[in-house]
Amino acid sequence: MAALRDLRIDALEFAIRGYFDRRGGRVAGVPNLGFEEIRYETHIQSPEPPDRIRALVDEAERHCYVLNTLRRATKISARIVLNGTLLMEVEHTPE
């Protein structure tokens, strides 16, 4: 998407974590319900203005098959870091 919009991205790093009850399925009476929350953080290095990066992130999230599937089932929290500074935080709740 960045290339289609002529946006320069020098570096992109993505980290994801899932949180769940470790007792689930291992302790009697505690069901394995899967992840309770998924968090991801994207670090971007770019000379582009923050508003162009924010628009890119918004569009990428709208078209992401994984995010659109998961957001129907669990809360997802995101942090977008641009050039070492927090650009935005987003929280998606189940629909």
Judge contact between 46 and 53, C-beta under 8 A.
yes
Q: Where are the domains of the chain?
A: 11-92
Sign of the dihedral through C-alpha 68, 91, 72, 26: positive
Whole-angstrom distance, CA of residue 87 vs CA of residue 79: 8
The H-or-E segment that residue 55 falls in is helix 50-63
What is the radius of gyration, based on Cα positions, of the chain?
A: 16
Q: Give the pLDDT confidence of 51-77 residue by residue, as tens digits.
A: 999 999 999 999 998 888 877 777 889
Note the CATH number of domain 11-92: 3.30.300.20
Q: Give the pLDDT confidence of 11-44 residue by residue, as tens digits.
A: 999 999 999 988 988 899 888 888 888 899 999 9
pTM for this predicted structure? 0.67
